[in-house]
Amino acid sequence: MNAAQRNRHTALLKSTGFEDSPALTVQSTDGEIPHGRELSFAWLTGTVMTGLTSVLLMGAALYVSFQGQDTFSTAYEALQISRPQADALTPTDLSAKSSRLRPVTATRSDLEIIEASIRETVDGRDMIRNQPFVRIRATLATAPTSLSDGVPAYDPVAILNATQPIESSADAIDINTDVYGAEVEGEVAVRLADMPMAFVPPRAITDQTAAEYVRSVVEATFYSDDAAPTLAYAALGPSVRDLGLSDGSTLGGVAENVTVVPKTVLAADAALGRSERILTVKERTPLNDVMRRNGFTDVMIAAIDATLQNVFPSTELPAGARLRILFGPSRTSNTLIPYRLSIYLHDDANDTDVHRATVALTDKGQYVLGLAPAEIEFPEEDTEEVNVANLPSVYRSIWETGRKHDLDDATIERIIGMYAYDVDMTKKIAAGDTIEILKSVPDAEGRSELLYVGLTLGNTTRQLYRFGTDDGVIDFYDPDGETGKRFLTRRPLEGGGTLRSRFGYRIHPIFKSRRLHTGVDLAARTGTPIYAAGDGVIQYYKWQSGYGNKVEIQHVNGYETAYGHMSRYVDGLSAGSRVRQGQIIGYVGSTGQSTGPHLHFEIKINGNLVDPLSVKLPKDNILPQQYEAEFAQTMAQINDLMTREPAPVTVAQASQ
């Protein structure tokens, strides 16, 4: 490049803003912003650190928001350090950030002993004696705690096993609900004897009244224009079921019930939030028993006992004592744990509740003494805050409530199995749903038997009564004489799957066109076992375009079920094989036209496709007609027991 070209390039560079300057230097004035070609490492480091700090703070704020937590520090909120008292009296803890007040619902949790005079036959003699029963009336738990830790996963096949009829055996507990009309003290023997021939009963009506009655009956029977006589002494002709000739291979009727589920709620997938529970001690009760029934683990109870021993050395709570328990989400499990426990004792002289002690959980997982929470006006009934994010499924809520009232796991499983065919156990409960239970008092070996269960979800109450037939089989029947077991299961795979697509018209996920979805899609992991929805014969057992590996089963009375997209079949089955309800027929996969592993399940009735989740299905077992009168008497006796006043001496209240 010659000198002229060099000068021209230099002029072009200067015109665009470039200049010939010395190199950068780090000799800037300390404490001031660098100018010109000066560079300050201290200023640069401060700027970078400020940026990093801002990024970390924003990230932490986003993390807390997405996790549903309002603070990283449990200690400040729980202990309420240097915190002014609230001006307004409110039944909720407003320390947690919230856009609105949480609703508060009244809770009931009564475990009572009731007594009735029972008539029974002993060595040929009729005896009347007092027999105690255990009655439970409770609202379903609205939040999961450690009480329901370790419950088995929801599995329809396990429910099938739990709902099998009870075969009476020699060592079975003898349960008698034959309630005698009058109350007796101790045991009374009743002896029946033939009435003497010379005995003349006193007149109840006059001869004239009897003659008028006979004349009116005769005239109504033979001279009335009515199509049917007023009185008829001949019973209707017996049916096959009355004669006990039915082999049970076919359905004995078409009795059907409508499936009703509680209203679904929004924010179903939200993280757990805080909730406060207020309890009243009905009678003198050990503090540890109260805590254990309300979700405190043994480790927590030991830690709280050690913390309270200097300020509240008493190990028992007197009648009328109040408890306020603040629950919050656990960071290690999907349950609520007690953040704070406050004890109040009632002052009869001033008719006030006086705060005695408060323990609170710190960030390090230790319970320490804390200040009293903000004052409130205690309600007359026990209450609990309702947090939509805390509402458990029906399945887990029954487990939580059952364990709170000391029911054994086998009894809880049977209760769930009795309702699993009518109720979607994966749905969340609604505040105010209740359950009532009647069972026998535990014997010397701790065994007791379930007699009655009433489950109320929303505005629907489902009642099931224990009843035994002459063949020694015991089952639970609704007031219409039907068991809770359905002819077909609606979600025939292990765990029930996750509903991804319902029955009806939709935009096809592959072809992007509007088409009828002929069944329901239940998502599950590849290899999850698939069960036969009911007893039947396999009609189709091979690949079908779109469905992939498919199985079709023919059931009785025009019912058919189909199972698509299976990864593989079960060895030993083929078209023509007879299968039973709950038998494994294949495994979840994604064969055919599928976007992921799931079971496509269909139900046909007389060749017409129906919605598997909402179609009315017949019951699998109906009480024979010859037992109707005896069953009606059993229902009346159990209903009488459910309405009786509790005995003067009751067990410790489960609400405590």
Q: What architecture is the 106-190+253-265+391-486+625-656 domain classified under in CATH?
A: Roll (3.10)
Residue range 380-388: average pLDDT? 82
What DSSP string describes 186-236? SEEEE---PPPTT--PPPSS-HHHHHHHHHHHHHHHHS--SSS-S---SPP
Residue type present at position 5: Q
Domain 498-610: give its CATH architecture: Distorted Sandwich (2.70)
Q: What is the CA radius of gyration of the chain?
A: 36
Q: How many of the other CB atoms lie within 10 Å of CB of 295?
A: 25
Position 244 scores a pLDDT of 38
| Ranges 221-225, 296-300, 427-431, 496-500, most confident | 296-300
Tokens linked to 42: 């201290």
Q: What is the pLDDT of residue 620?
A: 67
Query: In whole angstroms, what is the distance from residue 265 CA to residue 387 CA?
Result: 11
Looking at residue 265, its pLDDT comes to: 42
Cα(297)–Cα(606) distance, integer angstroms: 54
Phi then psi dihedrals of residue 486, to 5 deg: -95, 155
Model pLDDT, residue 582: 84
Say if CB 287 and CB 307 are below 8 A apart.
Answer: no
pLDDT score at 385: 81
- Asked which of 28-37, 82-91, 533-542 is least confident by mean pLDDT, the reply is 82-91
Q: Mean pLDDT, the chain, as a whole number?
A: 76
Q: What is the pLDDT of residue 186?
A: 56
pLDDT of residue 548: 92
Which ranges of 234-362 does DSSP label H, i.e. alpha helix?
287-292, 298-308
How far does CA 548 lie from the centroid of its chain?
A: 36
Per-residue model confidence as pLDDT tens digits over 138-182: 999 888 888 888 888 877 666 766 677 777 654 555 566 666 555
86, with CB counted inside 10 A (0-12, 13-18, 19+), is middle
The dihedral of CA 472, 475, 481, 484: what is its sign?
Answer: negative
pLDDT of 221 over the 70 cut:
no
Residue 98 pLDDT more than 80? no
Fold (topology level) of 267-389? Nuclear Transport Factor 2; Chain: A, (3.10.450)
Tell me the Ramachandran region of residue 368: left when phi exceeds 0, alpha when psi lies from -120 to 50, beta otherwise: beta
Select, from the ranges 475-484, 581-590, 640-649, the one with the highest average predicted confidence (pLDDT).
581-590
DSSP output for 381-413: S-EEE--GGGPPBHHHHHHHHHHHTT--HHHHH
Counted residue by residue, the chain has a size of 656
43: how many CB neighbours lie within 10 A of its CB?
16
What pLDDT, on a 0 to 100 scale, did the predictor assign at position 97?
44
Q: Phi/psi zone of residue 533: left (φ > 0), alpha (ψ -120 to 50 degrees), beta?
A: alpha
Q: pLDDT-based confidence at 101, cuts 50/70/90?
A: low
pLDDT at 154: 77
Distance, CA of 438 to CA of 446 (rounded, Å):
16
Residue 192 confidence class, pLDDT cut points 50, 70, 90: low
Name the token pair of 496: 């029930």
Instruction: Indicate if 267-389 has the same CATH topology as 106-190+253-265+391-486+625-656.
Output: yes
Higher-confidence residue: 649 or 361? 361
Q: What is the DSSP letter of 29?
A: P
H/E stretch holding 636: helix 628-643
In the chain, what are the domain boundaries?
Answer: 106-190+253-265+391-486+625-656, 267-389, 498-610
Query: Model pTM greater than 0.75?
Result: no
Model pLDDT for residues 305-362, shown as the tens digit of each residue: 999 988 888 888 998 899 999 998 888 878 888 999 999 998 888 888 899 999 998 8
Out of 31-40, 90-99, 520-529, least confident range: 90-99
- With H, G, I as helix, E, B as strand and everything else as coil, classify residue 424: coil
